Amino acid sequence: MNDLPEARQADPRGDIRWRTSAIVLAALLAVCLAVAGLAWKRAHDRASAQERIALAHGLALHAADLRDAAPGTARNLGVAAVKIHSDGQTRAGLIDTLVWERGRELTPDASSEVALSGDGRLALTGDGDEVSVWDLTAWLDPKVILKSDRAAALKGHKEGVDAVALSFDGRTALTGDEGATFVWDLTDPAKPIRAATLASERNSGSVRALALSDDGRTAVIANDAGDVTVWNLTDRSRPARLSVTRAHASSIRSLGLSANGRTAVTVDNDDAVTVWDLADPSHPVKSADLPPPERSERSMVATAMSADGRIVLVGNGPRVEVWNLDDQSRPARTAAFEVPLGYMYDVALTPDGKTALLAGPSDFTILWDLSDLSRPTRLAALKGYAREIESVAFSADGGIALTAGPSGVSLWDLRNLAEVVADPEQAACHGHTSARLSKADWARYAGDADWSDYGGEVSGGLAVCFITSDPT
């Protein structure tokens, strides 16, 4: 009867080995359970993260669709999207919504040409045989409810106006048609004076592009025949023609001029892009030819130049190229980027060359940041009232923009664009912390997602500015 106890006492190491094995097994089991739990948690977190991303992107898409019909709801959905998951897509969507709120219809009348003074206070819009002059002072003051009508109309053209230009100070304007170019004194915008007519050369064809130096003393005219004509407007009532140059073999489509009038760039219908030295305006000299962006099936090239003549932007449909002209004889391409436009109707560039506005056969124009010439970045899309954008213009600081087409002209106040782009969430919620989505809107646009997972619920809805990005 005492054999078993004696045996155990005789071999205590077996008991120790048994207990050790049990402990090891328990530890292994705990490790396995921990690993399994961690794997489950990671899988759950990944699934939860994917659900948040999908929800945020869905809300951003709904916001884009609602900008016209329900701007308040669009803003709230955009904020919710960024709060739930902030990435390039949701931030870009909210930025576009906030910028859209800063646009308004200047006129529903068609306009194929627009121009702005340097301070953005005077505008020209043209279509048909006359050009409208707009004093934008009241339009840019949010305290003014009743906006003023156009200040005056520039009349006298027998044919449709094909091009317009406005000096930096807004005191001199050019309007061109098939037969001639008129010089206008806009010292009093409400009482414009036609100061002179710049007669065209015989059989030279229609005016296609116009440009003025900042001081309004140098005018450059490009026409159907491929000619570039330089005029001295120091005495607006007695302009002096300085030169006529056969610049291209085909019609000139686009023209850019530096602020001092000493450098120009032209583009013709065959997509030839040429840089001109106008230091001696009586003898323009070709500095260089720029290879245009890759030709598309329906090619249409547009160009613009910075005030100092150092930066040239050349756009051909989906591809835009940036050129540096520090050495005019050896232009250097610093960047190329793609834009969602089939081809290019017009390009505007701020005088410092840091912001570009691109227009094509679409109901929106695209703002690009060129501060780093080697890495252009998209800022925002301006989707206004026009169904198609044919012409765009910038004020000197890029704070005011015009977009125009067959269905009207839109005016854009972009003076706080930098703050919006830097932190769209803060820009949207500043002063609007009570913004909320109703349960009905949440159910309509968020589907089965439970809004209680995202916090911020208040009486009457979900406070979008207080949504938590991590429901855990």
| pLDDT tier for residue 470 given thresholds of 50, 70 and 90 | low
241-274 pLDDT, tens digit each = 999 999 998 899 899 999 999 999 999 888 889 9
User: In angstroms, rounded to a whole number, what is the distance separating the alpha carbons of residues 223 and 217?
Assistant: 20
Provide the angle, in degrees to the nearest 10, between the axes of the packed helices 12-66 and 439-446: 100
Residue 419's pLDDT is what? Answer: 93
**Same domain for 378 and 304:** yes
Residue 419 lies in a domain: no
**Same domain for 145 and 19:** no
Range with lowest mean pLDDT among 160-174, 217-231, 296-310, 422-436: 296-310
What pTM did the predictor assign?
0.84
| pLDDT tier for residue 8 given thresholds of 50, 70 and 90 | very low
Residue 217's pLDDT is what? Answer: 95
User: In angstroms, rounded to a whole number, what is the distance separating the alpha carbons of residues 132 and 190?
Assistant: 11
Residue 301's pLDDT is what? Answer: 83
**Same domain for 121 and 22:** no
Residue 1 lies in a domain: no
- Give me the count of residues in the chain: 472
**Same domain for 80 and 170:** no
**Same domain for 148 and 126:** yes
Residue 136's pLDDT is what? Answer: 94
Comparing 383 with 106, which gets the higher pLDDT? 106
Last residue of a domain, one of 413, 436, 457: 413
| Segment 334-340 mean pLDDT | 89
User: In angstroms, rounded to a whole number, what is the distance separating the alpha carbons of residues 204 and 153?
Assistant: 27
Comparing 462 with 293, which gets the higher pLDDT? 462
Residue 44's pLDDT is what? Answer: 46
**Same domain for 407 and 462:** no
Residue 31's pLDDT is what? Answer: 62
User: In angstroms, rounded to a whole number, what is the distance separating the alpha carbons of residues 78 and 425?
Assistant: 9
Contacts of 303 (CB under 8 A, 6+ apart): 254, 255, 256, 265, 266, 267, 273, 312, 313, 314, 315, 347
**Same domain for 30 and 148:** no
Residue 228's pLDDT is what? Answer: 94
| pLDDT tier for residue 45 given thresholds of 50, 70 and 90 | very low
| Segment 15-19 mean pLDDT | 69
**Same domain for 77 and 108:** no
**Same domain for 160 and 33:** no
Residue 3 lies in a domain: no
Share of the chain above pLDDT 70, in %: 85
Query: Which helix (H) or strand (E) covers residue 53, if one does?
Result: helix 12-66
| pLDDT tier for residue 449 given thresholds of 50, 70 and 90 | confident
Comparing 344 with 425, which gets the higher pLDDT? 425
Residue 2 lies in a domain: no
**Same domain for 202 and 124:** yes
- Tell me the average pLDDT of the chain: 86
Residue 158's pLDDT is what? Answer: 82
Provide the angle, in degrees to the nearest 10, between the axes of the packed helices 71-84 and 12-66: 160
Residue 329's pLDDT is what? Answer: 87
179-200 pLDDT, tens digit each = 789 999 999 999 999 999 997 7
| pLDDT tier for residue 442 given thresholds of 50, 70 and 90 | confident
Residue 249 lies in a domain: yes
User: Among the residues of 330-403, which ranges form H helices?
Assistant: none
Contacts of 397 (CB under 8 A, 6+ apart): 120, 350, 415
User: In angstroms, rounded to a whole number, what is the distance separating the alpha carbons of residues 76 and 465?
Assistant: 9
| Segment 305-324 mean pLDDT | 91
- Is 357 in a helix, a strand, or coil? strand
356-386 pLDDT, tens digit each = 999 888 888 899 999 998 899 999 999 866 6
Give one DSSP letter per residue of 34-48, joined into a string: HHHHHHHHHHHHHHH
As for how many domains the chain has, the answer is: 2
Residue 300's pLDDT is what? Answer: 75
Say if residue 27's pLDDT is above 80: no
Residue 213's pLDDT is what? Answer: 95
Say if residue 349's pLDDT is above 50: yes
User: In angstroms, rounded to a whole number, what is the distance separating the alpha carbons of residues 193 and 353?
Assistant: 33
Say if residue 23's pLDDT is above 80: no
**Same domain for 327 and 406:** yes
| Segment 196-217 mean pLDDT | 84
Last residue of a domain, one of 413, 436, 451: 413
Residue 25 lies in a domain: yes
**Same domain for 244 and 174:** yes
Residue 471 lies in a domain: no
- Domain of residue 36 covers 8-97+425-466
| pLDDT tier for residue 4 given thresholds of 50, 70 and 90 | very low
Say if residue 202's pLDDT is above 60: no
Residue 472 lies in a domain: no
Residue 179's pLDDT is what? Answer: 77
128-174 pLDDT, tens digit each = 889 999 999 999 888 888 888 899 999 988 878 889 999 999 999 99
CATH of the domain at 157: 2.130.10.10
